[in-house]
């Protein structure tokens, strides 16, 4: 029987890690070390690599806090990342090995924030099944609104159509830009502070740093009226999905249909992607739904998928001992 071993990630393995992410079937650029490590001062990295003999077959982007391993608190999603050639047995042995390793390290609980299935390059539900076998608990479930580009619904909402026409009547212009400061400083941050008394997850310095590292994945689209920025969206682009990471408009943008105009443009611009992901509509840890936000996304044709969070006791690796006939 082939031997599976687990090792903690160290910076000397950066190239190996990144190369594996590029060839994985359920990963995006968020798992690249240049993305994960930008906020390494906030999280204690405890990422893991799983080897079958000498070959890397799985990785787990993770951080540790209070003797609990999270995958990953600093990322939108995480989970066990598998190679395109990984078999179910590879996934099984990797997951079992990770749980055993963590128990031996004195870590009692593993929290997984699974990557939504629209980001899978190939079918990757092995972990869902293994979580079932290990009596994992569904600790949180968000819904995110997305559009299947191959089955895109025609916009019929009179409000959306009116907003799109209003944008055109006001001579709004959409620009793809490399400069993030106008959107952050003049629209996003003031809007979030006024409405929610919050700041964006990324500062303008952080998003500029990340964009410099991933110029083909992090893109900024702004809406202008007479050379004044009125709305914008920050897009995280992956192989199958265009994801709206940040969406915001100022008062002029709201009055002139800025976001309706922008997203009508973006849905056409990204029609070559399998999915357009508007992002989650939940608050309070998934317990509440922002009805107005959900309605706005659905009137563009967005429909809901789930984003699941699981908690599993590491000692439950024992439940995997006799599953094969």
140-167 residue pLDDT tens: 999 999 999 999 999 999 999 999 999 9
In the predicted model, is pLDDT for residue 207 greater than 90?
A: yes
The average pLDDT across 15-27 equals 98
264-305 residue pLDDT tens: 999 999 999 999 999 999 988 889 999 999 999 999 999 999
Does residue 275 fall inside a structural domain?
no
| Number of separate domains in the chain | 2
> Which two tokens mark 313?
């006791």
Does residue 186 fall inside a structural domain?
yes
Does residue 126 fall inside a structural domain?
yes
Does residue 189 fall inside a structural domain?
yes
Does residue 286 fall inside a structural domain?
no
The rounded distance, in Å, linking the Cα atoms of 2 and 192 is 53
- CATH number, domain with residue 239: 3.40.630.30
Does residue 284 fall inside a structural domain?
no
**183: left (phi > 0), else alpha (psi -120 to 50), else beta?**
alpha
What does pTM read for this prediction? 0.94
Q: Could you tell me which residues come within 8 angstroms of residue 174 by beta carbon, excluding any fewer than 6 positions away?
A: 221, 222, 223, 261, 262, 265
The rounded distance, in Å, linking the Cα atoms of 86 and 127 is 12
Q: Residue 69 belongs to what domain range? A: 4-143+307-320
Does residue 279 fall inside a structural domain?
no
Q: Say if residue 170 is in the same domain as residue 261.
A: yes
Q: Say if residue 92 is in the same domain as residue 217.
A: no
pLDDT of residue 284: 87
Q: Say if residue 160 is in the same domain as residue 72.
A: no
Q: Say if residue 23 is in the same domain as residue 124.
A: yes
Q: Say if residue 129 is in the same domain as residue 157.
A: no
pLDDT of residue 78: 97
48-74 residue pLDDT tens: 999 999 999 999 999 999 999 999 999
Q: Say if residue 23 is in the same domain as residue 132.
A: yes
In the predicted model, is pLDDT for residue 173 greater than 70?
A: yes
Q: Say if residue 112 is in the same domain as residue 18.
A: yes
Does residue 139 fall inside a structural domain?
yes
């Amino acid at each position: 029987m082939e031997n599976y071993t687990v090792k903690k990630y160290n910076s000397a393995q950066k190239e190996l890690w990144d190369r594996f992410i590029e060839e994985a079937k359920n990963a995006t650029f968020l798992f690249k070390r240049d993305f994960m490590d930008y906020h390494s001062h906030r999280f204690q990295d405890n990422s893991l690599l799983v080897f079958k003999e000498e070959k890397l077959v799985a990785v787990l982007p993770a951080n540790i806090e209070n003797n609990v391993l999270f995958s990953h608190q600093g990322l939108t999603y995480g989970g066990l990342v598998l190679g395109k050639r990984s078999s179910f047995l590879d996934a099984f042995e990797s997951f079992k090995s990770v749980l055993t390793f963590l128990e031996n390290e004195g870590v009692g609980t593993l929290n997984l924030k699974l990557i939504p299935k629209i980001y899978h390059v190939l079918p990757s539900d092995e972990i869902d099944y293994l979580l079932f076998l290990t009596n994992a608990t569904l600790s949180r479930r968000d819904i995110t609104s997305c559009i299947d580009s191959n089955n895109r619904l025609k916009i019929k909402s009179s409000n959306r159509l009116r907003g799109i026409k209003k944008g055109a009547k006001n001579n709004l212009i959409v620009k793809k830009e490399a400069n993030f400061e106008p959107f952050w400083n003049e629209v996003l941050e003031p809007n979030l502070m006024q409405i929610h008394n919050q700041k964006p997850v990324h500062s303008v310095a952080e998003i500029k740093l990340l964009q410099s590292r991933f110029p083909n994945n992090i893109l900024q689209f702004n809406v202008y009226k007479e050379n004044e920025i009125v709305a914008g969206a920050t897009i995280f682009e992956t192989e199958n999905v265009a994801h709206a990471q940040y969406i915001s408009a100022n008062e002029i943008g709201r009055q002139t249909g800025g976001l309706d105009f922008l997203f009508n443009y973006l849905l056409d611009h990204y029609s070559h992607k399998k999915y357009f992901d508007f992002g989650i509509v939940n608050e309070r840890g998934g317990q509440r739904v922002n009805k107005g936000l959900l309605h706005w996304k659905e009137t563009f044709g967005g429909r809901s998928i789930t984003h699941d969070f699981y908690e599993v006791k590491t000692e439950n690796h024992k439940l995997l001992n006799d599953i094969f006939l």
